[in-house]
Amino acid sequence: MLSGLPFTFLSHIALAASATLALITIIIAAIRRPDMPRSSQILIALGLVLFTLGAGQLAYLESDPREVIVMVDLSPSTRSAQYRDAKVLQQRISTLLHKTPHRIVYFSDDNRTQISPSTRLPDLPSDKTIFNPPPAAAILLFSDARFDLPNSAPPIFIAVDPLDNPPDASIKQLEIKNQILSTTISNSSTQNRNLQSPTTRPIPPGSYILTDPLPKTSLITARLNPADDWPENDQLTIRPPAPILTERWWIGPNLPANFKSISNLPTDSGDYLTPSIIILNNTPASNFSDLQLQRLQQYIRDLGGSLIIVGGDHAFAAGGYQGTILDALSPLASSPPTPTLHWLLLADSSGSMSASVGPTSRFELSQQSILSLLPHLPPEDPVSIGSFAENLHWWSTGKSANETTAISFPKILPTGPTNLEPAIQQIISESKDTMPKELLILTDADTKIENIPALETGLKQKQIRLSVLVIGQDRAQGLAALQQLSKSTGGQILTELDPKKWTAATQKLFSTISPPHLMAEPTTIKLANLPARQVTPWNRTWLKKDATALADASLAAQWHFGSGTVAAFSFPANTDEIESLSKLIAQPPRDPRFQITWTQGPQLTVRIDATDGQKYLNNENLILQVMQRSFPIPQTAPGRYELAIDAPTQTTFATILHESRILDRISLPGRYPPEFDAIGNDERAMKELAFRTGGAVISPTDNRSIQFDFPRRHLPLSSALATAAALSIALGLILRRLR
């Protein structure tokens, strides 16, 4: 193409050759100076130029008009667009295309060339906009670009309509998690809207996530009052999750209906994937091994299981829960949270205790008996522990029971006399604090105690109660004095001569001198939705930090423990009370190897991370079930499985299965069509569409005509130029003859 001119040469070689011949001819003529008039010279020179242009096949570049297709989006999401006004649309087309030929195609989920004539262009109903441009030289598009972008298309010029932030309020999501209803709302208008879910409340402009306790109804609807052009997205409905069929285990007496009796806790962790809740009804800690209690703890903490502890004469402190996993699990403590007693524990280390009992000695057995009490003491109570013979020797003083349990105690060689009276006198003289004290002594009582009145006075003044486990002969010389001191201070005397039974006897003595664990006087209990009643007996318990009381008297409580929930009644709860709380907290256990993440919206996405310790679980058979359809969940990375599907339009449930066993289940709302998920222009999609196709995004204020880069066709001029050249040369020669 000649610079700035609509002409071009189709044969540059012929042009060069003819130009050379013409130049040679002109040079020869200039040298020989033929005798001819100037007019003939000019005409012959012009003929040579025309001949040269014709030989180079000079052609005119003529514009080649192509038809532009105007595509007008009439899907419901563009309902408020200005171009829906037929006159506005025609004026905008005329401005942008000027005289360019065009035809209009309307589209929503398919293309149409004809619609009902109207001053306001109607909706073409669809659930999802589909943009399928026909073949064309170019496309002028009126749309919000809320569709899947095509892989290929002619150059697309998007005429942007002022739809950037139309006034629309919508319910984006409705979810149920842990008995909580969560509603996500967006209000892009300038006015408040009213939400009913389940109560009515105003929704100011903005985006919000609102939570409510899950209402007790079979169908839940969140609804906004109609006040915009898109009522379709003003409502979502969801159904509370159907319970996953699981067992409910009952351990203890008085089995009610609808529970399964379990004689004892299993030790195989896989067995705990079965129950949705476990009831321990008035069951002592001694009924379970350490391994069984560890499995119970894992069931709650790791699998998300639920446990209810029911009180009675074999539960909490009365059931030996102190220091055990059961006490750690319970939201009600078996011991007071602050110190109430100072425990003084003494073992007789006199020479008579060195006698052998099988592979050990009498002293070692008495020491073991003393130490066996530590896990059962209130954890915050101070403890002083030691031995006496000729002198009093403390192994540890004043530390809490928790701290004392972790101490390594010294090896003691039993030797010397049983100087018990000086030991008691030293305890009295060294007692400075005002906290009541329990002095528990293991001794063979082979000692002489003379100043009984002074010891009585001193023990009473210092609030020390003396209790003794006599492990020697019934007629030991100090026995009568110890009986008198114990009686006068309110303590207890117990005799056990068999060394193998000393530990049991020590714990029996401890249980008799401990503060009362079971209260006999009646008290009133009132649980939510159940009538108040009087209960007796009831366990003395304390509400733990972070626990939630379920009754005014704090005799019932619950809390989260790891992934699960534990509730406790510190009294013999009846069937109605247990059943009511069971329904509230029971949930199917989760396999801790599979961490499931749900993402809800226009698409339902599930991601599962499967690991067993540090090992990835690969090639697992995982299935998503929705609306009676099964979707295999493909593996996308080591130990990771992911799947995304279109969200259902009907209220339903989504279930994850692993080898036919349910891993998880959630409720899904019946969503409105994808067409109403987002209202307004998708500017990112517009820019991407223009970039992909070589088009442009035209702002609403840009009123320039579109300059389409259409190809031009060639109009050859060789014949005309050759004819003109011949005529010009002939005329020049004729004029020379006529001269």
Per-residue pLDDT at 738 exceeds 80: no
* CB 279, CB 315: distance < 8 Å: no
* CB 395, CB 370: distance < 8 Å: no
Distances in Å between the Cα of 6 and the Cα atoms of 2, 39, 712 are: 7, 31, 9
Q: What's the average model confidence in pLDDT over 336-354?
A: 92
For residue 537, whether the previous peptide bond is cis, meaning omega lies within 30 degrees of 0, is yes
Q: What's the average model confidence in pLDDT over 670-677?
A: 93
pLDDT for the residue 241? 77
Closest CA to 234 of 193, 179, 205: 193
Q: What's the average model confidence in pLDDT over 138-165?
A: 91
pLDDT for the residue 496? 92
What SS3 string covers 345-386? EEEECCHHHHCEECCEEHHHHHHHHHHCCHHHCCCCCEEEEE
> Which stretch of DSSP H or E encloses residue 720?
helix 718-737
Same fold, 342-513 and 594-674: no
Q: Which residues contact 597 (CB under 8 A, 6 or more apart)?
A: 606, 607, 608, 609
β-pairing verdict for 382-388 and 342-348: parallel
SS3 at position 485: helix
Phi, psi of 659 (to 5 degrees): 55, 45
Closest CA to 547 of 331, 336, 338: 331
Q: Which of 475-479, 481-485, 524-528 has the lowest average pLDDT?
A: 475-479
Residues 323, 317: Cα–Cα separation, whole Å: 10
Task: Give 485-495 pLDDT, tens digit per residue.
Answer: 999 999 999 99
Both tokens assigned to 601 = 């919206």
> Which stretch of DSSP H or E encloses residue 398?
strand 392-400
Q: For residue 672, what is the DSSP state? A: P
- What proportion of the chain, given as a percentage, has pLDDT over 90? 59
Residue 260 neighbours by CB distance under 10 Å: 11
* CB 123, CB 112: distance < 8 Å: no
Closest CA to 325 of 355, 350, 346, 295: 295
Q: What's the average model confidence in pLDDT over 516-537?
A: 88
pLDDT for the residue 94? 95
Task: Give 74-106 pLDDT, tens digit per residue.
Answer: 999 999 999 999 999 999 999 999 888 999 999
Please report which confidence band the pLDDT of residue 336 belongs to, taking 50, 70 and 90 as the band edges: confident
Closest CA to 160 of 178, 144, 146: 144
Please report which confidence band the pLDDT of residue 364 belongs to, taking 50, 70 and 90 as the band edges: very high
Q: For residue 69, what is the DSSP state? A: E
Per-residue pLDDT at 713 exceeds 70: no
Both tokens assigned to 9 = 């040469």
pLDDT for the residue 4? 56
Per-residue pLDDT at 1 exceeds 60: no
- Residue that the structure tokens 């998708």 belong to: 682
What SS3 string covers 168-196? CEEEEEEEEECCEEEEEEEECCCCCEEEE
CATH superfamily of 594-674: Immunoglobulins (2.60.40.10)
pLDDT for the residue 628? 83
247-334+518-585: CATH number: 3.40.50.880
Residues 351, 363: Cα–Cα separation, whole Å: 9
Burial 462-493 (b: 16+ CB within 10 A, else e): bbbbbbbbbbbeeebebbebbebbbebbebbb
Task: Give 582-614 pLDDT, tens digit per residue.
Answer: 888 888 788 888 999 999 989 999 999 999 988
pLDDT for the residue 294? 95
Sheet holding 564-569, edge to edge: 260-261, 247-251, 275-281, 306-310, 564-569, 556-561, 548-549
Both tokens assigned to 79 = 């309902």
pLDDT for the residue 134? 92
Closest CA to 345 of 477, 506, 492, 496: 506
pLDDT for the residue 5? 66
pLDDT for the residue 676? 94
Give, in words, the CATH class of 169-238.
Answer: mainly beta
Q: Which amino acid is at 402?
A: N
pLDDT for the residue 199? 80
Residue 310, CA atoms < 13 Å, CB-side half-sphere: 23
Residues 316, 311: Cα–Cα separation, whole Å: 7
CATH superfamily of 342-513: von Willebrand factor, type A domain (3.40.50.410)
Task: Give 245-303 pLDDT, tens digit per residue.
Answer: 678 999 999 999 889 999 999 998 878 888 989 999 999 999 999 999 999 999 998 88
Beta-bridge partners for 440: 345, 467
Residues 44, 46: Cα–Cα separation, whole Å: 5
Per-residue pLDDT at 15 exceeds 80: no
Residues in the chain: 739
SS3 at position 582: helix
Q: What's the average model confidence in pLDDT over 652-681?
A: 89
Task: Give 385-422 pLDDT, tens digit per residue.
Answer: 999 999 999 999 999 998 998 888 888 899 999 999 99
Q: Which amino acid is at 219?
A: L
Domain extent listing, the chain:
7-64+713-737, 68-165+680-710, 169-238, 247-334+518-585, 342-513, 594-674
- What's the chain's average pLDDT? 89
Residue 714 neighbours by CB distance under 10 Å: 15
To the question of pTM greater than 0.85 for the whole model, the response is no
Please report which confidence band the pLDDT of residue 43 belongs to, taking 50, 70 and 90 as the band edges: confident
Both tokens assigned to 287 = 């009924």
* CB 607, CB 641: distance < 8 Å: yes
* CB 345, CB 387: distance < 8 Å: no
Closest CA to 230 of 145, 169, 163: 169
Both tokens assigned to 734 = 């004729």
Residues 674, 687: Cα–Cα separation, whole Å: 22
Q: What's the average model confidence in pLDDT over 361-383?
A: 90
Please report which confidence band the pLDDT of residue 63 belongs to, taking 50, 70 and 90 as the band edges: low
Per-residue pLDDT at 615 exceeds 70: yes
- What proportion of the chain, given as a percentage, has pLDDT over 70? 97
Q: What's the average model confidence in pLDDT over 551-566?
A: 88
pLDDT for the residue 84? 94
Please report which confidence band the pLDDT of residue 724 belongs to, taking 50, 70 and 90 as the band edges: confident
Both tokens assigned to 415 = 């030797």
Task: Give 176-220 pLDDT, tens digit per residue.
Answer: 987 889 999 999 988 999 999 878 899 999 999 999 988 888 889
Q: Which residues contact 190 (CB under 8 A, 6 or more apart)?
A: 167, 205
SS3 at position 43: helix
Q: SS3 helix, strand, coil % of the chain, rounded to 5? A: 25, 30, 40
Longest dimension (CA), the chain: 175
Q: Which residues contact 356 (CB under 8 A, 6 or more apart)?
A: 362
35: left (phi over 0), alpha (psi -120 to 50) or beta: beta
SS3 at position 461: helix
Both tokens assigned to 159 = 């005429």
Please report which confidence band the pLDDT of residue 377 belongs to, taking 50, 70 and 90 as the band edges: confident
SS3 at position 236: strand
